[in-house]
Copies of this chain bind each other. A is one copy, B any other.
């Protein structure tokens, strides 16, 4: 998998918005980035059979083939069909297939009607090969367009291509989340990735430490470089003094929660959480199962013994909240999380920001909880000070409902539907997961899911009020 993560320095500059349309080589750079990112999608689909790429195992999941086609439709719709990007005399080409506008529009109401989301698994056509051809055709046209686009709209073109690439990367993560769910529904439990790539440490790390942060007005969000509209405007938030745990909650911790009746005690749960748990029959994280009195976990490498040292993953926001209450702690707000990430050095930690080189969260390093002798101390606390695995292992549920920042305004037109209209009924997650493409891991990034949702790679980290 490792190669999937590696994009060229040029591509990295395009994705971070470091490139100006005035650069003489801007057109070439964007073409390079476009080619690389689009190619990663196809490589992610490569291990899958045509049959695998058809299945929608629940309404939230989309078939692989649909992701491949939808991301292509995005470029066709927001670039190829836009007259502004065509030189005088030229005009946008005919749609490659007029039906695709209906089949592959996800939720852009202003573009037109959409094939019902929960029926994506009823479509066998276009086939995988036909989708591959669709991708090739659009790719070729986009690369031409990047070269021929008039100067005066070039900046717009490049930023829309860049947005499209970030969109593509989001679907790369979705593709992996979704195929994991698809495979889990099958009693044969197929593996997506090569199990040889995966090692398991089943020893549980003990101990946890708390880092203290002072409250007050702190800067939140960003207005510079590439960022989604929901990451801005930059503004100040007012925090109380708080503490954040130095590591995510692990599968081993979670086992204790289960054994202590965590799923059976309503007083630990939000009312909606308890109702959901009861209706769904939750008694453990999604993908866990027991066999012969041992816990196992279904991963993208297939079924594996539970890794007690790895961050727990595939829990809902309701479960995260109940766990925190059981721990006499709470979830951090998204502002506490962002402030801690920015000020603790985590955001600059190059090793953290890996992405896509492993298909599940990495185990935590061991620490010894109680140094037995003085001389032990150094090794016992050998972990670097600060916060472990803030970025790139699991999305961490926060206590913050997903709403717009002060003075937030979505973009005009259909593309404004990208983020704003989902600001209802969802919670913010921060940090990025093992399967998150690197360009989507940063201190200001806001992921969001409804609190009952479990198929994304969601975990948690505890926080608490500082003693007042």
**Which residues of A line the B interface, CB within 8 A?**
49-55, 57, 65, 99, 102-103, 107, 109-110, 115, 119, 121-128, 182-183, 185-188, 190, 217, 235-238, 240, 266-267, 269-274, 318, 321, 399-401, 403, 406-407, 417, 421-425, 451, 465, 468
Contact = CB atoms under 8 A, between A and B. Distances in A.
Given A49-B50, A51-B65, A423 B119 contact: no
A122 B424 contact: no
A422 B187 CA distance: 28
Contacts of A188: 99, 103, 123, 125-126
A88 to B, nearest CB: 31
B128 A51 contact: yes
A229 to B, nearest CB: 15
Contact of A406 (B57, B122, B240, B421): B240
Contacts of A125: 49, 51-52, 186, 188, 190
Q: Which 6 A-B pairs have the closest CB atoms?
A: A109-B266, A401-B401, A51-B124, A50-B50, A52-B124, A238-B238
A285 B234 CA distance: 37
Given A271-B422, A403-B401, A421-B269, A55 B122 contact: yes
A425 B51 contact: no
Contact of A54 (B54, B110, B272): B54
B50 A102 contact: no
Given A54-B124, A55-B124, A122-B57, A271 B102 contact: no
A423 B318 CA distance: 11
B407 A403 contact: no
Contact of A407 (B103, B274, B468): B468
Contact of A50 (B51, B103, B107): B51
A386 to B, nearest CB: 24
Contacts of A271: 107, 417, 421-422, 424
A273 B269 CA distance: 27
Given A51-B125, A235-B240, A424-B451, 6 more contacts: A49-B50, A55-B121, A109-B266, A110-B266, A321-B424, A400-B403
Contacts of A266: 109-110
A423 B270 contact: yes
Contact of A424 (B235, B272, B406): B272
Contact of A127 (B49, B423, B425): B49
B406 A399 contact: no
Contacts of A423: 270
A121 to B, nearest CB: 6
Nearest to A123: B186
A267 B110 contact: yes
B51 A115 contact: no
A386 B395 CA distance: 46
Nearest to A53: B51
19 contacts: A49-B127, A50-B51, A51-B127, A51-B128, A55-B122, A99-B187, A103-B187, A121-B121, A122-B186, A124-B182, A124-B186, A235-B240, A236-B238, A237-B238, A238-B238, A240-B407, A267-B417, A271-B424, A272-B425
Contacts of A425: 272, 425, 451
